[in-house]
Amino acid sequence: MGGFLVNVGSFSIYPFMAVLLRERMGMGMEQAGVVLGAATLVQFATAPFTAAVAERVGLRRSLIGALVLYSLGGVAFLTGAGAPVLTVAGLILISAGGSLYSPAYRSYLVRGASSEQRPRLVSAGNAAGNLGIALGPVVGALLIQRPGEMFTVVTAVYASVALGHVFLRGERRVEDAPAVEPFRRMLHGLAVLPFVVTALTFYVHMQFYQYLSSYAQGRVATVVFGVAMMGYSLGLVLVQPLVARRVERMSHAAAMGIGFGCLAAGMVAFAGGNGLTLVAGVAVISVGSAVLFLKNDLEALARSRRSATVVFGQQRLAVGVGSCLSGVVGGTVYDVFERGGHLPMFWLVVAAQCVLYPVLVLAAGRLSSGRGRPAA
């Protein structure tokens, strides 16, 4: 329930942050992209550190601490209409809360679970979170013209979840759990291939998530956009648990082909620039993301000997690297096409990258494994 409610609050804001930054602070898309990139870097790049903290202080305490940060961020948003710097501060605080909450929450779900139980538990946790992601944009779409009310609702949600987490049972130490390593070794045992694929996944995925709201303005009704984004997350909720076992058994290469192929098809659909193609693109991306997100995490857990808390923190770092590049590079490219009056071409450029990256990763992996074999 906590993952669901936290994401309802967060994702009533996130998809509309580009719009809020432009309206509250008068930013261009290039500047807004830099701010969004910095916020996602805070949220994700600090995750190995916050995961190491959670490993030491305990998951329950970490969850409560994260929700305090979330609540402070909501208050900053609520009071930031007359002081734009508070809007940025609120975004950073919520990002910091997410950095601590996510690895602790996901580790709490799989603590003590066997490798056979993990796909079901990971997909169930993802489903709860994605249901929150589904409802969040609808709440945001309904309240975007009344930001004071929106931030009041968000702050109340965060505070309520924080109170509920006080009553969580503390976790017990598992006898065969990996040893807690020093902070300086928080990246030790990194599963390289899942890390790289996750970074590339979110580099292209966040261009859809961060910039589609601005692209849709004037092309699609706000409610249609909100419902489409709700459908995206509901697709993840429905598809991921259904395919969890199949995804566990398939190769990473097959999952990449399905995931990046769907991302490419969705980006091409966005170039159509109308409600039908936008909804179709979001639906296709939902299916691909359900497969690729889950497989990346399962591969990371399987390839690393570190605790689940640390592995999820390392994976979140990969998400941050990709998301930051998406904010900085994607925002700049979006701005170029917007100024040139050829904005639909932006999505075709992203689609081309979706086709190119898995080919390059697989080629690099084969080259690396070939070099590692002894000569005949």
Could you read off the pLDDT of 118-173 as tens digits, one per residue? 777 777 777 787 788 777 877 877 877 787 788 888 888 888 888 888 777 766 65
Q: What is the pLDDT of residues 209-239, one digit of tens each?
A: 888 888 888 888 888 887 888 788 788 888 8
Q: Is the pLDDT of residue 284 over 60?
A: yes
CB 337 within 8 A of CB 215: no
Q: Can you name the CATH fold of 2-168+189-368?
A: Growth Hormone; Chain: A; (1.20.1250)
Q: Which of 136, 164, 171 is nearest to 67 (CA)?
A: 164
Q: What is the pLDDT of residues 63-90, one digit of tens each?
A: 888 899 999 988 888 887 667 788 888 8
**Whole-number Å distance between alpha carbons of 87 and 46:** 21
CB 104 within 8 A of CB 3: no
- pLDDT for 19: 74
Q: What is the pLDDT of residues 290-324, one digit of tens each?
A: 999 989 988 888 887 777 778 887 888 888 788 77
Q: Is the pLDDT of residue 375 over 50?
A: no
Q: Is the pLDDT of residue 265 over 90?
A: yes
- pLDDT for 63: 86
pTM given for the model: 0.72
Q: Chain-wide mean pLDDT for the chain?
A: 81
**Whole-number Å distance between alpha carbons of 22 and 136:** 20
**Whole-number Å distance between alpha carbons of 210 and 262:** 18
